[in-house]
Structure 1
Amino acid sequence: MATATNPTTREILHRWPGDLLALISGALITLSLAPYNLWFFSLLAITVFCWTLRGLSNRSAWCRSFFFGLGMYGSGVSWVYVSIHDFGYTGIPLAIVMTFLFVSFLALVFSLPFYFFQRFMSRSRFGFLLGFPAIWVLGEWLRSWFLTGFPWLYLGYGHIDSWLAGWAPVTGVFGLSFIVVITSAAVASVQQDFENLNKRRYLFSAISLCTVASLWLAGLQLQNHEWTHHTEADKRTVTLVQPNIPLEIKWNSMYRPAILRQLRELTDPHWQSDIIVWPEAAIPLMYHEATDVIEELEQDSKENNTAIISGILYDDTQLMAYYNGIVGMGAADNIYFKQRLVPFGEYVPLEKYLRGLIAFFDLPNSIIHAGPNNQQGITVGDYSIAPYICYEIVYPDLVASNLGDAQLMVTISNDAWFGKSIGPLQHFEMARMRALENGRYLIRGTNTGLSGIFSHKGEIMLQGTPFVAESITGNIYLTRGVTPFTLTGSKPTIALCILMLLLAIFFQRRQLRVAHLPL
């Protein structure tokens, strides 16, 4: 029996050691993602998180969830410090404070749904097993659009190489997250049964574990299914130009001739390729200033029947608006404007109050306008390419909804903003997931890396060397057909989670009502 001097493990976890354990568990999520790719740590982290929430008050559960989120985002996205300090010209003390505030805000947004979970679902066994995965996935979905969204550190990304990858073309990344969390919740529930020696519930535990095991096995089987198809005639050769231009000189007019010369030197040996891709804002000029550059590229690419695709900043002189765009030249046609912008990097939230306070709020590109919805992609002869710029590729439903009848996807980026941190590697992994979800080859061209090509199965077919100026060449295939995820997006998964949420609330209310019935 526990005494004041000999508390039980459960009583200890109700105090600050439980918060510390939640903090450490949250940090383990980062190990399941790129570049570490130790996917089993996500299962361990969520199981421990479930365990530390048991028996807490609503307020304590919210606090415990905040510590978990603080560990997850503190370890997983602390690379924003590089942008704030190295390229936002913010002093070290202020950069540390701003990074901590950013991470804390993300942790707060993460934690709020768990107050709701603890109050309305956690006290019922069915409520816990149904409610916990539902509230987790709905939280991930919320973070994909709340305040324009920050869809980072989703559990499903860590399983792009596990058995669960087979579910990605069916459910998308949210479905993978769901299976991870319901697996961990089932394991935590079994642990509780053995701790309480409650043999009446062992059968329920066995059923729940068999159910989640079947989901993993189904994922393994789904990996063998071909949702989209291609033939040898659909083969195309692609060259990715990675100029590795330092951000410090990118928009300095003194370096403009040298930058353009380097781009041409990396491109000229590869005019035999079907497609050549330059990275985000590769041309260091506004669109109306780059007429001569574009005309020269148009002429060379048409002579070689090559499609060249490049990022460029487009200035609408009539509307006094600036857009982050992708332009097709030569055999390629059309221009696309980025729809999802990066806060502070491309626009300043609350600009009226923040602009001018510190250098970070006055980054040179933070004047970009969002492009319109329902834009056409880049056309190349009789096929089309769905374009995405930088941040856009991390939005699962945006990518699926904008795919249309495109047979290929391209994304361009400039991850130099995050230096030699894990941020670009996480970005690379998320692009892989988009290729797998939609059954399309995906070309990823960047300024400093990682540039590469992913197959319609999310496999890495070609990968460049980070922070090296180079051109790399590989093959892609135009693919036909659609995956279930492309057709429906995340709607079925989100609808299932909402249904499970309602059932979880129902089961807890029913259990509490039965518990108060007179004998």
Structure 2
Amino acid sequence: MSKPLKPQTTQQNEDPATEDTPSSGSRSNLLWLRCLACILSGASMVLVSPPIGEVWIHWFNLLPLFWAFSLNVDDRKQNGWLCYLFGCSLIFCNYSWISVSVINFSNLPLILAWGCVAGYAILCATPFWLLGYSVALLRKNFGHFWIFLLPGVQVALEQSWPALFPYYHGALMYRSLEVWQLASVFGVTSITYLIFLTNAVLSEALIYHKRLPYLSSKQLYAQVGICAFLMSAALGFGVWRLKSLESEFKGSPSIKVAILQQNVTMQHRLSRNPWEAVRDWTGLTLKTVEQKPDLVIWPEGAMGGPLNPDDTQPYAALGGRSLKGFFSELTTRYNFDFLIGGGTITFHEELNEQGYPKYTAYNSCYLFSHEGEITGRYDKMILLPFGEYMPLADVFPFLENIRGPGKFKAGSEVTYFKANKNNLEYSFSTPICYEAILNSQMRKMANTDLFINITNDAWFGDTAAPHQHAMLTTVQAIEWGRPLLRIAYTGVSFVVEPTGKILYETEPFVEEAKVEELRLLKTNTIYRQGGWIFPWLWICATPALLIIAKRRSDSESEVLNPSEKIL
């Protein structure tokens, strides 16, 4: 560990940094400009995030943020608030689509809908304050090692801070396959580390070294060299892994999967008769049967209303057949396995205050074998707050009056489905909706041959949300070394191979009914074998680093400003 940073001295001036450092009055006048730089730096993430996806910007778009810090580098709290402003801007701009869902599917007025977005940004930007506070603390007390420590702080915050919708900076590189391979070793947060390291090195070279020359040119060159080496190593590994796995996967077994998708709004879906939904999805399915699919998937919510796929009650709409009978006939006639996304509703004899039977609802999926039998059911285990349930509604009953959130119950265990077609046996787990972006849940579902993520992103309209949601699901394929099939009600749908390669991607709100080949590729990634510990090491190290740095700073302040005592 290096010694605390001390300014280089000259005969002309003991602290050459003071020559270029603005006075306190100047810093005050520049505060508005520093705030603007932070806001613009945060807003620039819209250009990096999908669907725009100009990811090359992210390798340097934090420089305005570091410049804002440099004008008053010793004021840790102020820099913390500047970074908090950066975080608010990032989250508000990237998650503005929340307002669309609130406006369309709740009884809240427009101003409160945007207030929800602002509130979400204000709450979730909290970890950015700690990141900004850490910059000067680490730089002053750990010398030129600060550029290697600050990215670790970001990794720790990214991994540990609770968020309704996780945000991984590294995930933004999901289309840059050479860099993306690093996630198979230490996870997606290792790419976050590389992004923040590059920005920190550039800030040292272009901003700090000129304004606050604490480091010698030799030390600066060493920083740049190490960063360049790590980047080159990551790219080299990526190129090698892509070629190696492609050669290894040649001749792998494959299945033919039907990718089905509708072009309907969520408002139409909610107003549509449930039998119309069955008719529409059946129509899309029949468009694919000539191509002889092995597996057909209907997405989350395909079975709307109080219809359970295992229902044995006869219905006139089905010509006197039950839903179970109808689906069994479909699978046996056309010889495919059939995964159906739909609710499971059980009514009880007890009545509620309005006189209707009480019920228990699950967000489920069912598997019908090609022999027509139901071979398994999975109930979603991680429900979406404010979407599938209203938090604290049991404590504060008035919250149930807010229109929009459902009243689903969480499942209790993972289901590993098994299928057998043409003597090819394979298993798959089915993360529903945003379960596929939660690492803790995917760890429980990873002991399988294939991930099938079914979701309904129509709630968010034609916004950035379906693209961002889809991006985060791709992380699972590269980290766990398993292919992932994503079927979304209105898109984005695709297949992701264990290399991160995306195939057959659809556009949102475009009807699709096609059959594509899915290779059952498997690889035992380093991440799977223990590389997942990378962010947890930083979670353990970060508090220790900040405590040590804080004590050093406090001790130095006591030495420079000893209290006067009368003996």
Report the AA paired with residue 24 of structure 1: L
2:198/2:227 contact within 8 Å kept: yes
What residue in structure 1 maps to residue 84 of structure 2? Answer: 66
Instruction: Give the greater-gyration-radius structure (CA).
Output: 2
Q: In structure 2, the residue corresponding to 1:475 is in which secondary structure?
A: strand
**CA distance in structure 1 between the partners assigned to 2:520 and 2:375 by the alignment:** 17
Aligned equivalent of 1:102, options 107, 120, 123: 120
Q: Which runs of 5+ in 2 are unaligned?
A: 1-16, 312-321, 349-357, 561-567
1:198 Cα deviation from its structure 2 partner:
3.8
Counterpart code for 2:331: S
Q: 1:30 aligns with which of 26, 46, 60?
A: 46
Separation (CA, whole Å) in 2 of partners of 1:236 and 1:169: 24
The answer to whether the 8 A contact 2:157-2:539 is kept is no
Q: Work out whether residues 449 and 482 of structure 2, in 8 Å CA contact, stay in contact via their aligned partners in 1.
A: yes
Shift, 1:482, TM fit = 1.6
Deviation at 1:231, TM superposition (A): 4.9
Residues 1:159 and 2:202 aligned together? no
CA drift at 1:188: 1.4
Correspondence for 1:15 among 18, 31, 44: 31
1:150 aligns with 2:150: no
* Secondary structure class of the residue paired with 1:18: helix
Counterpart in 2 of 1:219?
A: 234
**Is the counterpart of residue 371 in structure 1 residue 411 in structure 2?**
yes
Query: What does residue range 235-384 of structure 1 map to in structure 2 within 5 Å?
Result: 235-252=254-271, 255-271=273-289, 272-286=292-306, 288=308, 291=311, 292-317=322-347, 320-331=359-370, 333-352=375-394, 356=398, 361-363=402-404, 366-373=406-413, 375-381=414-420, 382-384=425-427
Paired letter, 1:377: Y
Distance 2:173 2:245 in 1: 19
Deviations 1:189-227 (A, max 9, x none): 223453148485222222222222122212212222246
Distance 1:172 1:199, change over 3 A: closer
* Alpha-carbon distance in structure 1 between the residues aligned to 2:381 and 2:507: 29
Q: Matched residue of 2:175: which SS?
A: coil
Q: 2:352 corresponds to which residue?
A: none
SS state of the match for residue 72, structure 1?
A: helix
Offset at residue 230 of structure 1 (A):
3.8
Q: Which amino acid aligns with 1:240?
A: I
Deviations 1:360-408 (A, max 9, x none): x332x521122224x132211221012111111112343244211x111
Deviates further, 169-178 or 52-61:
52-61
1:403 to 428, 431, 446: 446
Count of matched residue pairs? 506
Relative to structure 1, the CA distance from residue 127 to residue 354 in structure 2 (aligned partners, 3 Å threshold; closer, same or farther) is farther
Provide the C-alpha distance between the structure 1 equivalents of 2:116 and 2:540, rounded to a whole number of angstroms. Answer: 35
- Counterpart CA distance in 2 for 1:9 and 1:156 is 39
Displacement of 1:23: 1.0
- Identity, in percent, stands at 20
8 Å CA contact retained: 2:153, 2:538: no
Paired residue type of 1:324: N
* Alignment CA distance shift 1:393-1:14 (3 Å): farther
Specify the code of the residue in structure 1 equivalent to 2:361.
Y
For 1:210, the equivalent position in structure 2 comes to 225
Q: For the Cα contact (< 8 Å) 2:390–2:400, is it kept in 1?
A: no
Distance 2:179 2:252 in 1: 31
Greater shift, 342-351 or 97-106, is seen at 97-106
- Alpha-carbon displacement from aligned partner over 1:29-88 (angstroms, at most 9, x marks no partner): 222121121113223232332332241523312211221011101110010001000222
Shift of residue 19, structure 1, vs aligned partner: 1.5
